[in-house]
């Protein structure tokens, strides 16, 4: 037996964002040794849209002992008002949020919202100090070398880290995914075709900013203003909110990550500033109240086919990028981890030093399990923005003349999203402290 094979099993998690920090909690609970490699010099660098927490994620939080502690940073919306961005005219109410609340309260939990940076801070602060020490900052991954006995990750600062597997939780622009694809084709990363380097497609970009609650607008309410090629949105909680402007690009693109300048933000505001975002409120008017700096990001969408290779496996946004309107992205990443670690823990109970082939078989099983609902969730997220920021006349007709007269939200919640939520797995070895009484039964429960 080689020296490396004799070492205890160790997971190397790449990425210290939402999914990477959640992995730290789950691996700790599973008793699996790990480190987290984060390329930034601080955990607290994340910006972006508001974050939705779905019922299946609350069950995982409950099992991890986080459910009560997370409550202070959560907020909620109860209704959605839809209006014309062109003239501010009221078009109706979208019942999806109300239906989701009724549906998921029947499961014992409702969908809640929080700020992305607040959740990052919560996930980090709630780790034990001994676990925080396993999160290594300034560790940008440069190379991954796999053998029959283990894996070595070399970082740009010259340090190397040995382990048994690599879990790529490093997001939409995953370096782990890039290196894995290059290894599969036996080429250098820069030799990959562009579609392999950037496998997701960007059709929309998003201007976002934090807001106070403005006079005349209702707390716990979402405002959606629809238009050709764009939609404007305010999501209000109890005492704060968020502004979003979703703009369709002239042509979909798969180009590398774009960094937008202040001039880009100003041009985007100038294009849409005179349009309405809420009753009596234009985009420019609302933006004048923003708290802090605004941001602009591309909204990549898509799903890859190759989730693993040898001792490396991908989770979260590294395998699927969902448009944020439906708020499913982080929750899908949490479910990835639940499925993956359940299988990994089972394997390690049987074999403390599993072979590369055993791990590849496990990763193949993980992908097969998650692929069953991933496509449905991806389709749901893609439709959400297109029903508001109409990419062509067909979506305009559907949004204006069909959806208002058919129970589309009810069908989506009851027949698509609801069944997927009910079938979500749990951490099979951890008790649930307080699963609320539910009228609709969950399919899975801990096996203890």
In a domain, 166, yes or no: no
In this predicted structure, the answer to whether residue 372 has a pLDDT above a threshold of 60 is yes
Count structural domains, the chain: 1
In a domain, 337, yes or no: no
In this predicted structure, the answer to whether residue 1 has a pLDDT above a threshold of 50 is no
| 414, 252 Cβ separation under 8 angstroms | no
The residue whose two tokens read 């109860």 is 78
382: confidence class by pLDDT, cuts 50, 70, 90: confident
In this structure, the strands spanning 389-390 and 221-228 are parallel
Which structure tokens are listed for 13? 């998690």
| 309, 297 Cβ separation under 8 angstroms | no
In this predicted structure, the answer to whether residue 400 has a pLDDT above a threshold of 90 is no
Per-residue pLDDT tens digits for 138-187 = 999 999 999 989 999 999 999 999 999 999 999 999 999 999 999 999 99
The residue whose two tokens read 């369709």 is 248
pLDDT at 103: 60
Give the per-residue SS3 of 280-338: CEEHHHHHCCCEEEEEEEEEEEEECCCCEECCEEECHHHCEECCHHHCCHHHHHHHHHH
| 168, 38 Cβ separation under 8 angstroms | no
| 76, 112 Cβ separation under 8 angstroms | yes
- Minimum mean pLDDT range among 272-276, 290-294, 378-382: 378-382
Mean pLDDT of 254-271: 91
The residue whose two tokens read 């700790």 is 28
Helix (H) or strand (E) holding 35: strand 33-38
Per-residue pLDDT tens digits for 41-55 = 999 876 667 898 988
Residues 6+ apart with CB under 8 A from 205: 246, 247, 249, 260, 268, 296, 297, 298, 299
In a domain, 52, yes or no: no
Q: How many CA atoms lie within 13 A of 22 on its CB side?
A: 27
Alpha-carbon separation of residue 231 from 29, 46, 208, 300, 327 (angstroms): 42, 24, 12, 17, 16
pLDDT at 263: 95
pLDDT at 436: 62
Which structure tokens are listed for 235? 């999501």
pLDDT at 408: 63
pLDDT at 111: 84
Measured at the alpha carbon of residue 27, what is the angle toward residues 357 and 153, in degrees to the nearest 5?
Answer: 55
Arithmetic mean of pLDDT over the chain: 89
Which structure tokens are listed for 112? 């809640």
In a domain, 308, yes or no: no
In this predicted structure, the answer to whether residue 5 has a pLDDT above a threshold of 60 is no
Per-residue pLDDT tens digits for 322-343 = 888 878 899 999 999 999 999 9
Mean pLDDT of 227-247: 92
The pTM of the full predicted model, rounded to 2 decimals, is: 0.93
240: confidence class by pLDDT, cuts 50, 70, 90: confident
| 242, 49 Cβ separation under 8 angstroms | yes
Q: In angstroms, rounded to a whole number, what is the distance separating the alpha carbons of residues 122 and 133?
A: 16
pLDDT at 390: 87
Please, what's the b/e burial string for 80-108 (b: 16 or more CB within 10 A of its CB; e: otherwise)?
bbbbebeebeeeebbbbbbbbbebbbbbb
More confident residue, 250 or 437: 250
In this predicted structure, the answer to whether residue 440 has a pLDDT above a threshold of 90 is no
Alpha-carbon separation of residue 444 from 60, 324, 427, 428 (angstroms): 12, 27, 9, 9
In a domain, 238, yes or no: yes
Mean pLDDT of 74-99: 83
pLDDT at 107: 59
Read out DSSP for 216-235?
A: TS-TTEEEEEEEETEEEEEE
pLDDT at 174: 96
Q: Which domain holds residue 224?
A: 201-301
In this predicted structure, the answer to whether residue 247 has a pLDDT above a threshold of 70 is yes
């Amino acid at each position: 037996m080689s020296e490396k094979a004799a070492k205890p099993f160790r997971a190397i998690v790449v990425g210290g964002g939402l999914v990477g920090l959640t992995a730290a909690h789950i691996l700790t609970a599973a008793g699996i040794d790990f480190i987290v490699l984060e390329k930034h010099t601080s955990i607290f660098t994340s910006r972006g849209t508001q974050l939705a927490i779905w019922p299946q994620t609350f069950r995982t939080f409950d099992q991890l002992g986080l459910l009560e502690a997370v409550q202070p940073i959560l907020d909620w919306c109860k209704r959605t008002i839809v209006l014309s961005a062109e003239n501010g005219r009221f078009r109706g109410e979208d019942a999806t949020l109300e239906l989701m609340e009724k549906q998921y309260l029947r499961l014992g939990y409702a969908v809640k919202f929080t700020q992305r940076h607040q959740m990052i801070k919560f996930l980090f602060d709630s780790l034990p100090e001994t676990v925080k020490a396993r999160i290594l900052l300034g560790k940008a991954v440069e190379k991954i070398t796999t053998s029959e006995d283990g894996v070595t990750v070399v970082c740009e600062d010259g340090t190397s880290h040995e382990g048994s597997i690599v879990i790529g939780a490093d997001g939409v622009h995953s370096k782990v995914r890039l290196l894995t694809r290059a290894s599969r084709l036996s080429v250098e990363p820069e030799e990959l075709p562009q579609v392999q380097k950037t496998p997701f497609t960007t059709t929309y970009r998003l201007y976002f900013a934090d807001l106070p609650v403005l006079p005349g607008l209702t707390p716990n309410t979402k405002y959606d203003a629809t238009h050709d090629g764009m939609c404007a949105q305010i999501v209000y909680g109890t005492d704060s909110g968020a502004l979003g402007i979703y703009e369709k690009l002239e042509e979909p693109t798969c180009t590398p990550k774009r960094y937008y300048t202040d001039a880009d933000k100003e041009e985007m505001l100038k294009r849409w500033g005179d349009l309405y975002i809420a009753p009596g409120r234009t985009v420019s008017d609302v933006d004048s109240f923003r708290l802090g700096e605004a941001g602009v990001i591309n909204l990549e969408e898509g799903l890859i086919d190759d989730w693993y290779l040898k001792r490396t496996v991908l989770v979260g946004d590294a395998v699927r990028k969902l448009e944020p309107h439906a708020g499913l992205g982080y929750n899908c990443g949490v479910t990835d981890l639940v499925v993956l670690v359940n299988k990994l823990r089972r394997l390690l109970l049987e074999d403390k030093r599993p072979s590369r082939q055993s791990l590849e078989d496990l990763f193949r099983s993980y992908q097969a399990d998650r692929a069953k609902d991933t496509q449905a969730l991806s389709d749901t997220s893609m439709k959400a923005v297109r029903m508001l920021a109409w990419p062509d006349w067909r979506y305009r007709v559907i949004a204006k003349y069909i959806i208002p007269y058919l129970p589309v939200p009810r069908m989506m919640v009851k027949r698509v999203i609801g069944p997927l939520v009910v079938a979500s797995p749990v951490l099979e070895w951890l008790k649930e402290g307080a699963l609320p009484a539910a009228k609709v039964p969950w399919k899975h429960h801990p096996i203890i």
